[in-house]
């Protein structure tokens, strides 16, 4: 059998590359003669730059930057064909860069991402492709815009470095230096959600609690985003409030579209094209993908569901291995079958720690099911 493993990362646990190797190891214990191909996936978040950069044989460039709370961090981008930079927010100033897991939704920003973008431009890159996901901040991407040269002036006339907690203090913005920095630069951003900027489905309400925000702070962040959005629309003419996907990465998608003219791309479709996944699915007998949390949002254009839809197109069953599954039994979904790797959910931290073992064990059991027919034939 030809087995295609196209895994997504288990957030806060193991990346897509490691996930793929664990699944292959377990599967091959049961079915060593199967031809197994691994194509790690990321639709904008953790692992995006590494997966795309290595697939395109890019050069990894290390950059001294800052994590979301302004502490020193070693970031990077991949330089491809001398003029294209592949990078992501997650590895440069996302949640994964907070080593101690300390979250501060109001103080965090995206300045670290902007520092890496600026270095790529200084290195001669004219095309910047950015994966947006895994964010720890809700700053509309203005920390990065600041690092690229914009000046943000507060109500009292002082310059400030934007973060989620002070967006409402911004009275005016000087874009002259920014425009010089990004002249003749083309930006593209891979987005893995379609949330708008504000409201119940917005950046703050949906994602800020994951970044450590309390209920009060969620309301504050939503209000701050609304205020900066109105200022932005007046300055740029871009209707950021109605932008589909504008809420991605704490509103960074909307901010980058407005100030960098960054063009949004659906991260899953971009990744599938880069990795040549449609051709691999067509050749496979079984596809195995993965997701940390399978829910209704997963079904709305995220990597695992898109993979399964292509599988159905080519009559290839797709198995999804998940950390948790919130779908109801009768929910319509494109997967052939779904297996939760966790046996208990009373301790989330322990479940995350045991992801590797549980993933290997579950894959082993799934492979044994496929092996039943072979045993019966002998």
- Of the segments 102-106, 223-227, 300-304, which one has the largest average pLDDT value? 223-227
pLDDT at 299: 82
Beta-carbon-side half-sphere exposure of residue 160 (alpha carbons within 13 Å) = 22
Cα separation, 68 vs 364, whole angstroms: 39
The predicted model gives 140-160 an average pLDDT of: 97
Beta-carbon-side half-sphere exposure of residue 330 (alpha carbons within 13 Å) = 0
The predicted model gives 174-190 an average pLDDT of: 97
pLDDT band at 201 (very low <50, low <70, confident <90, very high): very high
**Number of structural domains the chain divides into:** 2
22 shares its domain with 54:
no
125 shares its domain with 214:
yes
240 shares its domain with 133:
yes
State which residues form the domain around 95. Answer: 48-268
pLDDT at 261: 98
76 shares its domain with 212:
yes
pLDDT surpasses 90 at 11 = no
Least confident of 64-68, 147-151, 170-174, 372-376: 372-376
pLDDT at 346: 66
Cα separation, 269 vs 280, whole angstroms: 15
Beta-carbon-side half-sphere exposure of residue 205 (alpha carbons within 13 Å) = 10
Least confident of 209-213, 323-327, 360-364: 323-327
340 shares its domain with 214:
no
pLDDT at 138: 98
pLDDT at 259: 99
227 shares its domain with 163:
yes
pLDDT at 189: 98
pLDDT band at 378 (very low <50, low <70, confident <90, very high): very low
102 shares its domain with 240:
yes
pLDDT band at 29 (very low <50, low <70, confident <90, very high): very high
Whole-prediction pTM? 0.92
pLDDT surpasses 90 at 45 = no
Out of 268, 295, 320, a domain closes at 268
Assess contact for 37 and 4: CB atoms under 8 A.
yes
95 shares its domain with 206:
yes
Q: Residue 356 maps to which CATH number?
A: 3.40.50.10350
Percent of the chain with pLDDT strictly greater than 70: 98
Least confident of 17-31, 152-166, 202-216, 321-335: 321-335
pLDDT at 377: 47
pLDDT at 233: 98
Out of 219, 236, 268, a domain closes at 268
pLDDT at 371: 76
Q: What is the pLDDT of residues 116-135, one digit of tens each?
A: 999 999 999 999 999 999 99
108 shares its domain with 143:
yes
The predicted model gives 172-185 an average pLDDT of: 97
Mean pLDDT score of the chain: 94
Least confident of 7-16, 165-174, 187-196: 7-16
The predicted model gives 237-253 an average pLDDT of: 97
Q: With helix as H, strand as E and coil as C, how does the chain read?
A: CEEEEECCCECCCECHHHHHHHHHHHHHHHCCCCEEEECCCCCCCCCHHHHHHHHCCCEEEEEEEECCCCCEEEEEEEEECCCEEEEEHHHHHEHHHCCCCCCCCCCCCCHHHHHHHHHHHHCCCCEEEEEECCECCCCCCHHHHHHCCCEEEECCCCECCCCCCCHHHEEEEECHHHHHHCCCCEEEEEECCCCCCCCCCCHHHHHHHHHCCCHHHHHHHHHHHHHHHHHHHHHHCCCHHHCCCCCHHHHHHHHHHHHHCCEEEEHHHHHHHHCCHHHHHHHCCEEEEEEEEECCCCCCCCHHHHHHHHHHHCCCCEEEEEEEECCCCCCCCCCCEEEECCCCCCCHHHHHHCHHHHHHHHHHHHHHHHHHHHHHCC
Token couple for 111: 């300045």
Cα separation, 242 vs 196, whole angstroms: 7
69 shares its domain with 102:
yes
Q: What is the pLDDT of residues 284-332, one digit of tens each?
A: 999 999 998 888 878 877 899 999 999 999 999 999 999 988 888 778 8
Q: Residue 67 maps to which CATH number?
A: 3.90.1510.10
Out of 268, 285, 304, a domain closes at 268
The predicted model gives 197-222 an average pLDDT of: 96
Nearest to 278 by CA among 265, 268, 293, 290: 268
64 shares its domain with 155:
yes
């Amino acid at each position: 059998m030809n087995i295609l493993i196209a895994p997504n990362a288990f957030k806060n646990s193991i990346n897509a590359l490691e996930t793929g190797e664990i699944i292959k190891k377990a599967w091959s214990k049961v079915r060593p003669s199967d031809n197994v191909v691994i194509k790690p996936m990321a639709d904008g978040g953790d692992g995006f730059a590494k997966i795309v950069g290595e697939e395109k044989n890019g050069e990894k460039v290390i950059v001294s930057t800052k994590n979301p709370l302004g502490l020193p961090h070693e970031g990077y981008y991949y330089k491809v064909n001398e003029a294209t930079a592949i990078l992501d927010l997650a590895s440069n100033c996302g949640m994964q860069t907070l080593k101690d897991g300390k979250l501060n939704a109001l103080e965090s920003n995206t300045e670290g991402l902007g520092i890496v973008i600026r270095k790529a431009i200084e290195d001669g890159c004219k095309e910047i492709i950015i994966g947006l996901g895994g964010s720890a901040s809700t700053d509309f991407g203005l920390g990065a815009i600041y690092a690229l040269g914009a000046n943000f002036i507060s109500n009292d006339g002082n310059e400030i470095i934007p973060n989620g907690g002070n967006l409402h203090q911004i009275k005016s913005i000087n874009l002259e230096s920014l425009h010089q920095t990004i002249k003749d630069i083309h930006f593209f951003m891979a987005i893995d959600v379609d949330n708008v900027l504000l409201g119940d489905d917005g950046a703050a309400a949906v994602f800020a609690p994951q970044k450590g925000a309390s209920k009060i702070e969620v309301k504050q962040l939503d209000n701050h985003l609304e205020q900066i959005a109105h200022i932005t629309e007046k300055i740029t003419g871009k209707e950021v409030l109605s932008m589909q996907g504008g809420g991605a990465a704490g509103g960074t998608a909307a901010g980058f579209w407005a100030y960098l003219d960054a063009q949004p791309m659906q991260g899953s479709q971009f990744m599938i094209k880069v990795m040549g996944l449609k051709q691999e699915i067509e050749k496979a007998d079984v596809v195995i993908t993965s997701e940390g949390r399978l829910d209704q949002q997963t079904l709305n254009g995220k990597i695992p569901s898109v993979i399964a839809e292509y599988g159905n197109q080519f009559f290839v069953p797709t198995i999804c291995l998940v950390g948790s599954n919130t779908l109801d039994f009768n929910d319509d979904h494109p997967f052939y079958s779904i297996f939760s790797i966790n046996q208990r959910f009373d301790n989330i931290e322990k479940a995350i720690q045991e992801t590797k073992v549980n993933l290997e064990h579950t894959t082993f059991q799934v492979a044994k099911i496929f092996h039943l027919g072979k045993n019966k034939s002998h």
